């Protein structure tokens, strides 16, 4: 019998409510399920006799160099998975030579996360995720803190005018963090108590004006996360976005939304190479990375697999997940006849007649 993978180990170690918080989605979890199924519906056509004896898996993205075209997407409350939380994650991601996106729902403040990453690698890159807050001065302060900590991009989640309804959390009564845990980046913000974190707020009135104000108040590149409609992608480019992140929020917002992968080709066509197009949602294998790149992504994000590695074995678990994913991508690239990620092309993606039934071990 093969040893249990990180997901199974994490499920056995985490309290059920914590596991469900990480694993669950909104509503009936159709969007969550479709993210993985979308990859299962597609296959890769290999190219042969290309003469590529060696491969370079690295990509340039927003001024950073990633060792392979995978970054870590924002996920909340890492200390629920492991006592060292985002600090352990940051060290592992820095060791892997890629980018961690930490954010407002982190249980370690952005300055601490940046310091942990740079203790492992002085040149480690870090991005910061935020939601547009109802008060612009709060949004601007969060952006300022990220810039002061040395983050190299802001990832603005734009698909959340209201919170998604997470069925598992409601069933478990998991509505607040346990004592001793907090969203540390929300402490000491304008208009809030000096020693307590403000609640993370959603803003149903958010608009492109909020993006413009943030663009004017921050010198960091802006990645708009949660875009699925091609017309929104065109508007984002016109409004000065530096990258588009195609995402359905891991299936945690609109349950009727399509899989991120299904939305990717139309968004990539709308952007037409003017800015990088990224994707997250459902990426579990190196072949998933290759499919997304062939359909127009520059890089992809992973979220839940990193949490499973963190819960299973802390920093070492995250390192293992990323190392296995990088190795699997490199192997897939070789079998597809590529020497670098840019060699993967749209004509190599074809429908798979019979969907896969197995699951990636991470």
Q: How does pLDDT run across 7-64, given as a tens digit for each residue?
A: 999 999 999 999 999 999 999 999 999 999 999 999 999 999 998 889 999 999 999 9
How much helix, strand and coil, in percent to the nearest 5, is found in the chain? 45, 15, 45
For the chain, list the domains and their CATH numbers. 6-350 (3.20.20.70)
3-state per-residue secondary structure call for 213-225: HHHHHCCCCEEEE
Distance of CA 53 to the CA centre of its chain: 32
Q: What is the pLDDT of residues 92-131, one digit of tens each?
A: 999 999 999 999 999 999 999 999 999 999 999 999 999 9
Q: What is the mean pLDDT of the chain?
A: 95
Give the pLDDT band of residue 144 (cuts 50, 70, 90). Answer: very high
Name the pTM for this structure.
0.95
Choice between 47 and 357, residue whose per-residue pLDDT is larger? 47
Q: β-strands 277-280, 299-302: how paired? A: parallel
Whether 1 has a pLDDT exceeding 50, the answer reads no
Q: For residues 232 and 217, give the distance between their C-alpha atoms in angstroms, rounded to a whole number.
A: 22
- Asked if 57 and 330 count as a contact pair (C-beta separation under 8 A), the reply is yes
Lookup: tokens for 349:
């993606």
Q: What positions carry a catalytic annotation?
A: 249
Calculate the alpha carbon distances from 104 to 76, 141, 144 in Å. Answer: 8, 12, 13
- E-only strand ranges, the chain: 42-44, 59-61, 64-66, 70-72, 100-103, 126-131, 153-157, 222-227, 243-246, 277-280, 299-302, 349-351
Percent of the chain's residues with pLDDT above 70: 97
214 φ/ψ angles, rounded to the nearest 5 degrees:
-65, -40
Calculate the alpha carbon distances from 139 to 45, 154, 157 in Å. Answer: 45, 11, 12
- Asked if 187 and 109 count as a contact pair (C-beta separation under 8 A), the reply is yes
């Amino acid at each position: 019998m093969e040893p249990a993978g990180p997901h199974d180990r994490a499920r056995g170690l985490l309290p059920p409510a914590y596991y469900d918080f990480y694993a669950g989605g909104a509503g009936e979890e159709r969007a969550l399920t479709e993210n993985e199924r979308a990859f299962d519906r597609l296959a890769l056509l290999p190219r042969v006799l290309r003469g590529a004896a060696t491969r370079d898996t690295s990509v340039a993205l927003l001024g950073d160099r990633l060792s392979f075209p995978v970054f870590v997407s924002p996920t909340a409350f890492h200390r629920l998975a492991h006592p060292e939380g985002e600090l352990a994650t940051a060290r592992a991601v820095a060791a892997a030579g890629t980018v961690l996106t930490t954010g407002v729902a982190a249980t370690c403040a952005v300055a601490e996360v940046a310091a942990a990453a740079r203790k492992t690698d002085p040149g480690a890159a870090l991005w910061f995720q935020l939601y547009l807050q109802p008060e612009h001065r709060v949004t601007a302060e969060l952006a300022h803190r990220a810039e002061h900590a040395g983050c190299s991009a802001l990832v603005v989640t734009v698909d959340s005018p209201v919170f998604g309804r997470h069925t598992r959390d409601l069933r478990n009564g998991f509505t607040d963090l346990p004592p001793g845990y907090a969203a540390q980046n929300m402490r000491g913000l304008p208009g809030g108590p000096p020693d307590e974190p403000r609640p993370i707020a959603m803003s149903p009135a958010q608009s492109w004006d909020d993006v413009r104000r943030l663009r004017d108040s921050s010198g960091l590149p802006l990645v708009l996360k949660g875009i699925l409609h091609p017309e929104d992608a065109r508007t984002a480019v016109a409004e000065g976005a530096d990258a588009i992140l195609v995402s359905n929020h891991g299936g945690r917002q609109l349950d009727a939304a399509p899989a991120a992968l299904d939305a990717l080709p139309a968004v990539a066509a709308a952007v037409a190479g003017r800015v990088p197009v990224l994707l997250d949602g459902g990426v579990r294998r190196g072949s998933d990375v290759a499919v997304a790149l062939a359909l127009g992504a520059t890089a992809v994000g992973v979220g839940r697999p990193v949490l499973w590695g963190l819960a299973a074995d802390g920093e070492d678990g995250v390192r293992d997940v990323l190392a296995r994913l990088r190795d699997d991508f490199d192997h897939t690239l070789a079998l597809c006849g590529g020497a670098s990620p840019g060699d993967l092309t749209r004509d190599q993606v074809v429908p798979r007649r019979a969907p896969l039934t197995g699951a990636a071990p991470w």
